[in-house]
Amino acid sequence: MKAGSGAGERLMFIDLLKAVGSQLIVLHHLAFYGPMSDWTQRLVPDLVTWFSQDARMAVQVFLVVAGFLAARSLAPGGQPRQAPFMAQLGQRYVRVALPYIAALVVAILCTELARRWMAHSSLSAPPGLWQFVSHALLLHTLLGVESLSAGVWYVAIDFQLYALLLVLLWLTRRERVPGVWLQALVALVVAASLFHFNREDDWDSWALYFFGAYGLGALTYWTTHNDAAWRHGRWLLAALVAMTLVALVIDFRERIALALLVCLALASSVRQGWLWRWPRSSVVAYLSRISYAVFLLNFPIALVVNAWFTRYGGPDAELQTGGVLLAWLACNVAGALFHHAVEQPLTRLGRRRDPALGSFSVR
């Protein structure tokens, strides 16, 4: 394992996961929503179908990475930080929600612009005040409120997962139990998710549905982060792998299988040291930095491009496919601009001095 890896160092392998994952989600939205992809499907039907149906599995990568980074931030040595619960939760809200609320305003404006050029099922109705407030409070998934933009459900779930992990950390800190009991408690909630909650679609608006992948990410960090942790943690990690395999035998879910593979890749990257060394790419690093902004803005930007090509592009498969590629580029350019002009200034309001503060899963 790499010795002396500081909390503020760039985690290059995680950069790769976030960069690739965010691009897959953009391509998923481009394939799933809007009329341009219907034309593209005539040219490359299998590719469009894969992006439309399977690329969304990248969400599992985000969940595992988010759990890994949250554990690294909130309990870097396996012991919870001595910080007030509400202060940590409020800080998380500021860092995640302020850029998200700004992106919601952009999404509303883009939807109204797109409405001038096309009528399509992907266009949401003009929002009411309560609809916007419920989104701003990250309660829209729990209240069954119609989404203002594709993918924003994940922001609410990510915040729920962070809050749930904070609760588990607070319980063990309050009782002053050893770090191993923290890991055991998290593993217990992971088991509940894998064997029950994740198998019931009625729970898919709640953190417990997704905690299997998120908790596996957290436990992967705690069991591998240094040699002392690994001496005992490798047995826990092996038990977690076995437990997950049993859950898959009982009810096979591709999303859980992928989450397990990502956990094993992260564990290997930590123990072999290439978490910090590979890939050395400034492009990957930059795409990782802007990934949250791209995630937030890709749907409204793609919606506008779809609408413009629907109104002015004409019924030509090659031309419409060019529109898809243009929309992909536009999503990344808009995400980069939003990252520098909006996201960075807003997230500074919630930044601690500690550089190990965990980040949103696609950031």
| CA dihedral sign, ordered 292, 163, 258, 359 | positive
Beta carbons of 67 and 216 less than 8 angstroms apart:
yes
Look at residue 278 and tell me if it is in a domain. Answer: yes
In contact, 296 and 251? CB cutoff 8 Å: no
Structural domain includes residue 305: yes
Degrees to nearest 5, angle at CA 24 with 23 and 26: 65
* CA-to-CA dists, residue 47 to 55, 212, 309, angstroms: 10, 30, 21
What's the pLDDT score for residue 5?
Answer: 45
Would 301 be classed as within a structural domain?
yes
Rounded to the nearest 10 degrees, the angle between the axes of helix 45-53 and helix 12-32 is 110
- Neighbouring CB atoms inside 10 A of 235's CB total 11
Instruction: Report how far residue 54's alpha carbon sits from residue 201's, in angstroms, rounded to the nearest whole number.
Output: 18
Per-residue pLDDT of the chain (363 residues; tens, 9 = 90+): 443 344 457 899 999 999 999 999 999 999 999 799 999 999 999 999 999 999 999 999 999 999 999 999 998 877 788 888 899 999 999 999 999 999 999 999 999 999 999 988 888 888 899 999 999 999 999 998 999 999 899 999 999 999 999 999 988 876 665 667 889 999 999 999 999 999 999 999 999 999 999 999 999 999 998 888 888 889 999 999 999 999 999 999 999 999 999 999 999 999 999 999 999 999 999 999 999 999 999 999 999 999 999 999 888 999 999 999 999 999 999 999 999 999 999 887 756 544 334 444 444
Looking at the domain assignment, is residue 6 inside a domain? no
Say if 3 falls within a structural domain. no
Residue 5 lies in a domain: no
Per-residue confidence (pLDDT) for residue 8, from 0 to 100: 57
The pLDDT value recorded for residue 159 is 97
Closest CA to 36 of 331, 328, 320, 327: 320
Residue closest to 339 by CA, chosen among 362, 355, 305, 308? 362
> In this structure, how many other beta carbons lie within 10 angstroms of the beta carbon of residue 322?
15
Domain assignment present for 2: no
How far apart CA 120 and CA 138 sit, in angstroms, is 26
Burial of 121 (0-12, 13-18, 19+ CB in 10 A): exposed
- Is residue 363 assigned to a domain? no
Domains contained in the chain, number: 1
Residue 253: give the domain boundaries.
Answer: 12-350
Integer Cα distance of 123 and 175 in angstroms = 50
Give the DSSP letter of residue 341: I
Strands (E), the chain: none
